[in-house]
A and B are shown apart, each in its own frame.
Chain A
Amino acid sequence: DAMVIQNPRYQVTQFGKPVTLSCSQTLNHNVMYWYQQKSSQAPKLLFHYYDKDFNNEADTPDNFQSRRPNTSFCFLDIRSPGLGDAAMYLCATSRDGRDNEQFFGPGTRLTVL
């Protein structure tokens, strides 16, 4: 089945130690998104790629970076995780962004010690 895959499902890192979360998709969609969801809160968009074009949200901290080496993969890099970065990180895709539904992966739960 076509899907959005996130690895790992659970990630533990230490305060200040860089961490990378990965997302892959078999849907061949043009747009890939990264959301942050803290406990008991709604998902918050961090940034998205339309093909190779990167679109950052204005309030996304510089500590968060992203890479999209090809259509199928997208990475979220947290350069120096703080305790406040502990959250569920959700990856989503859509065919061309406009009037299409977004397909979400299961998320990666990040713990910062």
Chain B
Amino acid sequence: DAKTTQPPSMDCAEGRAANLPCNHSTISGNEYVYWYRQIHSQGPQYIIHGLKNNETNEMASLIITEDRKSSTLILPHATLRDTAVYYCIVRVAITDKLIFGTGTRLQVFP
């Protein structure tokens, strides 16, 4: 499974966009990019996933570069409740497994 690299921590002001980068330079053609987050003392929560195209849902947007070697998760208007560890995961389409990396700890401040 391809590995991901994320910055260990980031800060974001409340109301501003939070842009969380992820590098996955060894990604293969059939591997999806998934994002989960984990708020303190809770189970991880699915955010979004994509293969090639940019994706948007009610929680976030996922921008994947054309060469698919990196991606950015965008929280358009961060709130204090978005403070969490965000995990970028590369997942092979035919497997059932998520292999979590170290994640980015996002702190949203007032």
Q: A104 near B93 (CB under 8 angstroms)? A: no
Please, what's the 1-or-0 string for B34-55, where 1 marks a CB less than 8 Å from any CB in chain A? 1000100111111001000000
Q: How far is the CA of A92 from the CA of B36 in the complex (A)?
A: 13
A43 and B96 contact, Cβ closer than 8 Å, known pairs A99-B32, A101-B49: no
Residues of B within 8 A of A105 (CB): 43
Q: Which 8 A-B pairs have the closest CB atoms?
A: A104-B43, A97-B96, A42-B100, A101-B46, A104-B44, A43-B100, A90-B43, A107-B43
A43 nearest CB across to chain B (Å): 5
Q: Is A82 an interface residue (CB 8 A)?
A: no
18 contacts between A and B (CB under 8 A): A31-B96, A33-B96, A42-B101, A42-B103, A43-B44, A45-B97, A45-B99, A92-B44, A94-B96, A97-B95, A98-B94, A98-B96, A99-B93, A103-B46, A104-B45, A105-B43, A106-B42, A107-B41
List chain A positions with a Cβ less than 8 A from chain B: 4, 31, 33, 42-45, 48, 50, 55, 90, 92, 94, 97-99, 101-107
Residues of B within 8 A of A106 (CB): 42-43
Docked CA distance A84–B56 (Å): 40
Range for the number of chain B residues in contact with chain A: 20 to 34
Report whether A42 and B102 are in contact in the complex, using a CB–CB cutoff of 8 Å: yes
The total of interchain contacts (Cβ-Cβ below 8 angstroms) comes to 50
Contact residue among A42, A55, A92, A103 (Cβ-Cβ distance under 8 Å from B87): A42
Q: Does B98 contact A (CB under 8 A)?
A: yes
Shortest C-beta distance, B89 to chain A (Å), equals 9
**B102: which A residues are within 8 A, CB to CB?**
42
Chain B residues in 8 Å Cβ range of A92: 43-44
* Contact between B43 and A55, CB atoms less than 8 A apart: no
B97 to chain A, nearest CB (A): 6
Q: Which residues from chain B contact A98 at a C-beta distance below 8 Å?
A: 93-96
Chain A residues whose C-beta falls within 8 Å of the C-beta of B46 in the assembled complex:
101-103
**A8 CA / B32 CA spacing, docked (Å):** 34
Q: A45-B97, A106-B43 are in contact. List 19 more A-B contacts (CB 8 A).
A: A4-B43, A42-B101, A42-B103, A43-B38, A43-B44, A43-B100, A44-B100, A50-B96, A98-B93, A98-B95, A99-B32, A101-B34, A101-B46, A101-B49, A102-B44, A102-B46, A103-B46, A104-B44, A107-B42
